[in-house]
């Protein structure tokens, strides 16, 4: 049947538009703005480079958190948390759709 190519094949590509707004304390500081943008959007020169660093077969770079990551690695992948809770032996990073739990500075759980 024409047009029913399955979930992994697409008959056509649709293009859209997205506006990303980044706020910094000094928008005239190019390096600060560039660092903020790069912390959320990581461009690659080639599709194969994206595939090596991403986690999808299509080569799309998808930011993810893995067990054992450090605070810095999580922040590099997801940006700073919306809330950080220090609870003695554990630390929780709260993001919009997830909570990352650390013990001894390493990720132990993601919910």
Extract the tokens encoding 8. Answer: 């992994």
Pairing mode, strands 99-103 and 90-94: antiparallel
Q: What is the pLDDT of residues 19-41, one digit of tens each?
A: 777 676 776 777 877 777 776 66
Confidence of residue 60 (pLDDT cuts 50, 70, 90): low
pLDDT exceeds cutoff 70 at 109: yes
CA separation for the pair 106, 70 (Å, rounded): 5
Q: What is the pLDDT of residues 73-100, one digit of tens each?
A: 898 888 899 999 999 999 999 998 899 9
């Amino acid at each position: 049947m024409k047009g029913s190519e399955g979930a992994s094949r697409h008959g056509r590509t649709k293009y859209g538009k997205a506006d990303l707004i980044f706020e910094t304390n000094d928008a005239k500081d190019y390096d600060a703005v560039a660092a903020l943008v790069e912390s959320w959007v990581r461009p690659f020169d080639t599709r194969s480079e994206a595939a090596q660093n991403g986690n999808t077969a299509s080569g799309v770079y998808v930011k993810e958190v893995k067990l054992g990551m450090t605070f810095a690695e999580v922040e590099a992948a997801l940006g700073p948390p919306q809330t950080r809770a220090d609870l003695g032996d554990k630390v929780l990073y709260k993001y919009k759709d997830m909570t990352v739990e650390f013990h001894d500075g390493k990720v132990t759980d993601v919910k």
